[in-house]
Structure 1
Amino acid sequence: MYAIVDIETTGGYAERNRICEIAIILHDGEKVVKEYQSLINPERAIPIGVQAIHGISDAMVEDAPKFYEEAKTIYELLKDNIFVAHSVNFDYSFVQKAFAELGFPLQLKKLCTVRLSRKIFPGYKSYSLGNLCSQRNIIINDRHRAYGDAIATAELFTQLVANDHEDVISKTLKKNATNVNIPENLDKEVFEALPHSPGVYYFLNNKNKIIYVGKAKDIKKRVSNHFGGKKAEVTKQSFQKDIYHVDYLLTGNELIALLHESHEIRKHWPRFNSAQKNNNPGFAIFLYEDRLGYKRLQIGRKQPGMKTVMRFANHAAAFHFLVEKSKQLNVCPKMAGYQSAPAECFDYKIKECDGACVGKESAEIHNKKVDQFIEACDAEKSDYILIGKGKSEQELSIIMVEAGYYLGYGFLDKNDQVTDWEDLKNYLQRFPDHPEIYKILSSPSATKGNQKFKKEEWMQQKVRLNKAG
Structure 2
Amino acid sequence: MKYAIVDIETTGGYAARNRICEIAIILHDGQKVVKEYQSLINPERHIPPQLSAIHGINDQMVAEAPKFYEEAKTIHELLDGNIFVAHSVNFDYSFVRAAFQDLGYDLKLKKLCTVRLSRKIFPGLKSYSLGNICDDRGIQIHDRHRAFGDAIATAELFTQLVENDSEGIIEKSLKKNASVVNIPENLDRKVFEELPESPGVYYFLNQKNQIIYVGKAKNIKKRVSNHFGGTKLEVAKQAFQSQIHHVDYYLTGNELIALLHESHEIRKNWPRYNRAQKSNNPGYSIYLYEDRRGYKRLQLGRKQTGMKSIIRFPNHASGFSFLNEMSKKLNICPKMAGIQSSPDACFDLKLGLCEGACIGDESLEDHNEKIEKFIEICNIEKSDYLLMGDGRTLSEKAFVLVENGNYQGFGFFDQDESISAWNEFKKYLIQYPDHPEINKILNSEHATKHYKKIKKDAFKSKVEKI
Give the alignment's TM-score, normalised by structure 1: 0.98
**Residues 214-293 of structure 1: matches in 2 within 5 Å?**
214-293=215-294
- Range with greater deviation from structure 2 (173-182 or 102-111): 173-182
The residue aligned with 2:334 is 333
Q: Percent identity?
A: 69
- Range with greater deviation from structure 2 (275-284 or 299-308): 299-308
Distance 1:98 1:38 in 2: 15
Report the aligned-residue RMSD: 1.0
Q: Helix, strand or coil for the counterpart of 2:310?
A: strand
Q: Helix, strand or coil for the counterpart of 1:408?
A: strand
Instruction: Confirm or deny: 8 A CA contact 1:184 1:241 kept in the other structure.
Output: yes
The answer as to 2:163 corresponding to 1:151 is no
Deviation of 1:456 after TM superposition, in Å, equals 2.3
The residue aligned with 2:400 is 399
The residue aligned with 1:368 is 369
Q: AA paired with 2:58? A: S
Instruction: Confirm or deny: 8 A CA contact 1:255 1:447 kept in the other structure.
Output: no
Deviation of 1:316 after TM superposition, in Å, equals 1.4
The residue aligned with 2:78 is 77
The residue aligned with 1:31 is 32
Instruction: Confirm or deny: 8 A CA contact 2:415 2:463 kept in the other structure.
Output: no
Deviation of 1:306 after TM superposition, in Å, equals 2.9
Deviation of 1:175 after TM superposition, in Å, equals 0.6
The answer as to 2:302 corresponding to 1:301 is yes
Instruction: Confirm or deny: 8 A CA contact 2:84 2:112 kept in the other structure.
Output: yes
Deviation digits for residues 329-366 of structure 1, max 9, x if unmatched? Answer: 22111101101111111222122222111011222321
- Range with greater deviation from structure 2 (270-279 or 300-309): 300-309
Instruction: Confirm or deny: 8 A CA contact 1:138 1:156 kept in the other structure.
Output: yes
Deviation of 1:65 after TM superposition, in Å, equals 0.6
Distance 1:186 1:448 in 2: 38
Deviation of 1:463 after TM superposition, in Å, equals 4.6
Q: AA paired with 2:429? A: L
Q: Which runs of structure 1 show a deviation greater than 3 angstroms over 4 or more consecutive aligned residues? A: 446-449
Distance 2:221 2:325 in 1: 46
Distance 2:330 2:322 in 1: 12
Structure 1 pair 357–447 and aligned structure 2 pair: CA distance change class (3 A): closer
Q: Helix, strand or coil for the counterpart of 2:450?
A: coil
Instruction: Confirm or deny: 8 A CA contact 1:287 1:306 kept in the other structure.
Output: no
- Range with greater deviation from structure 2 (322-331 or 139-148): 322-331
The residue aligned with 1:387 is 388
Distance 2:352 2:170 in 1: 85
**Residues 161-200 of structure 1: matches in 2 within 5 Å?**
161-200=162-201
Deviation of 1:448 after TM superposition, in Å, equals 4.3
The residue aligned with 1:103 is 104
Distance 1:446 1:275 in 2: 19
Structure 1 pair 410–381 and aligned structure 2 pair: CA distance change class (3 A): same
Distance 2:3 2:20 in 1: 21
Q: AA paired with 2:56? A: G
Distance 1:221 1:422 in 2: 37
The answer as to 2:348 corresponding to 1:347 is yes
Instruction: Confirm or deny: 8 A CA contact 1:216 1:257 kept in the other structure.
Output: yes
Deviation digits for residues 101-152 of structure 1, max 9, x if unmatched? Answer: 0001100000000000000000000000000000000000000000000000
Structure 1 pair 196–30 and aligned structure 2 pair: CA distance change class (3 A): same
Q: AA paired with 1:401? A: V
**Residues 441-452 of structure 1: matches in 2 within 5 Å?**
441-452=442-453
Q: Helix, strand or coil for the counterpart of 2:412?
A: strand
Deviation digits for residues 303-346 of structure 1, max 9, x if unmatched? Answer: 13433111011111111111121222221111011011111112
Distance 2:450 2:307 in 1: 37
Instruction: Confirm or deny: 8 A CA contact 2:419 2:461 kept in the other structure.
Output: no
Deviation digits for residues 136-191 of structure 1, max 9, x if unmatched? Answer: 00000000000000000000000000000110000011011011111111111111
The answer as to 2:418 corresponding to 1:421 is no
Distance 1:327 1:126 in 2: 67
Distance 2:358 2:401 in 1: 41
Q: Helix, strand or coil for the counterpart of 1:332?
A: coil
Distance 1:446 1:285 in 2: 24
The residue aligned with 1:311 is 312
> Structure 1: which 5+ runs fail to align?
none
Deviation digits for residues 169-216 of structure 1, max 9, x if unmatched? Answer: 000110110111111111111111111111100001111000000000
